[in-house]
Amino acid sequence: MLHNQISLVIPTRNDEKFLKLLLISINNQTCHPQEIIIVDSSTDQATNNTIKKLDVTIPIIYHREKKAYPGKARNIGVKMAKNDWIAFLDSKTIPEIDWLEKYRHLAQVYSADAVFGVTQFDAKSPVQKALRAATYGNIGHHTVPGTLIKKGVFTKSNGFLEQIRMGEDIEWRERLMKSTFIIHKPETPVITYTGLPENFIRIIRKYITSTYHTARVNILSNIKDAYLSLALILSAIILPKWNYLISGWDNNPLFIPHITKIYLLSLIALLLIYQLFRWLFFWNTIETLFSRSLKFVVFVFITLTIYRWNAVIAGWMEDAVLYIPHITKIYVGWIVMASMMYRGIFLPLKRKVEYNYLFPFRWIQVGLLGLSLDLIKAPGYVAGAFISLFKPSR
């Protein structure tokens, strides 16, 4: 029987203002945890001083860890916990007043070993609203903050990756869902995240850092995926030049006619099949490095084909049937416009962003921001993927 025998674990770093609001909201919960464990890796004593000044009726256990990413801080907090159930929050999250009471009830009704948190994202400034529209939208997302889990189950899951700054939460949830434990995943948001970046510089830093660590998580969780991706990239370099490399052309028994066309069509078919299976069976999982590499290679080949179209297909003859004037400009313009409409209209509406917010013109701002984020994430993902092959996760 689950009563209120819950230990609440909160990792924090230089977030004393947010933490103060969080602790006040926890103190107002309809169901109190028996203890709050704060693992602080701040660069100063501001967080500790803030905690000492607060009038909170719930016992607070404060632990200072000189350097700890959120995953490591949570692992430390769970080890310190005295109760059989663990709840997680982050310093920039605010729970609904009946969060713990509701989740305690869900754990009992579904006989669940864990109940995942559901977070919505708050936005006040124009920049935050545009960022929310381009990314999270107005729907709830399953998150570690808000999650309630048996301590024994968490221990058996081996906890979070400790050397990853971001993405460790997604990796842990996916690992847990693949286990035999009973996981309940509500849909109604019970947590509000209040820390979206307020200027473009911070947005750039956040997303480069995020994709760097997400790439590391992808590879560290599946090293086979990394080598498969490497093989794909090597094949894209070697196979189109195959007939040049073997020499002798059609006199060589290893000569393969139209190998570049065959290779490109095979890649496109593989991508379509892969996307279909992911859409049907694995839509709620993190995208793998291989799928990203496959998309990138296909995009590069199609772009090169378009770039050389008039030279190879039409022989630069303007009166040829297949000659297309300004094909490169048309292609680039189409890619930019399609991307902006997808990021500025389709995705936001799918994620329940208000129609009145997007139109008549703000969808352009949202689309440009979304497209910019896609371009910003590329170097971080490549760097993270490369470094992960040589750097351990724990």
Strands in the chain per DSSP E: 6-12, 35-40, 60-64, 85-88, 93-95, 114-121, 141-150, 183-184, 191-193
First-to-last alpha carbon distance for the chain, in angstroms, is: 35
For residue 383, what pLDDT band results from cuts at 50, 70 and 90?
low
Q: What is the pLDDT, as a whole number, of residue 150?
A: 97
Strand-strand pairing, 93-95 and 191-193: antiparallel
Confidence of residue 394 (pLDDT cuts 50, 70, 90): very low
* pLDDT of 21 above 70: yes
pLDDT above 90: residue 137: yes
Measure the CA–CA gap between 376 and 204, rounded to whole angstroms: 7
Q: Over pLDDT 90: what percentage of the chain?
A: 48
Pairing of the two strands 114-121 and 183-184: parallel
Is the model more confident about 117 or about 209?
117
What pLDDT, in 10s, does the model give residues 50-63? 998 888 889 999 99
- In this predicted structure, what is the pLDDT of residue 60? 95
Q: Of the ranges 81-85, 195-199, 293-297, 370-374, which one carries the lowest mean pLDDT score?
A: 293-297
9 φ, ψ (degrees, to nearest 5): -110, 130
The 10 Å Cβ neighbour count of residue 140 is 20
160 falls in which pLDDT band (50, 70, 90)? very high
Give the CATH class of 6-196: alpha beta
392: cis peptide before it, omega within 30°?
Answer: no
Q: What's the pLDDT at 1?
A: 47
- Contact assessment for residue 129 and residue 123, using Cβ atoms and an 8 Å cutoff: yes
- Domain boundaries along the sequence of the chain: 6-196, 219-388
Q: Report the pLDDT averaged over residues 319-326.
A: 77
User: Which residues are CB-contacts of 34 (< 8 A; sequence separation ≥ 6)?
Assistant: 4, 5, 6, 7, 58, 59, 82, 83
Count CB atoms within 10 A of the CB of residue 223: 11
The Cα-based distances of 275 to 229, 288, 313, 338, 377 in angstroms read 16, 12, 30, 19, 21
pLDDT tens digits along 251-276: 778 888 888 888 888 888 888 887 78
> How many Å apart are CA 115 and CA 177, to the nearest integer?
11
Q: What is the pLDDT of residues 189-243, one digit of tens each?
A: 999 999 999 888 888 888 877 776 666 665 455 555 666 666 777 787 788 877 7
| CB 11 within 8 Å of CB 77 | yes
pLDDT in the model for residue 257: 84
Q: What confidence category does residue 393 fall into, taking pLDDT thresholds of 50, 70 and 90?
A: very low
pLDDT at 208: 77
User: What's the mean pLDDT in 63-74?
Assistant: 92
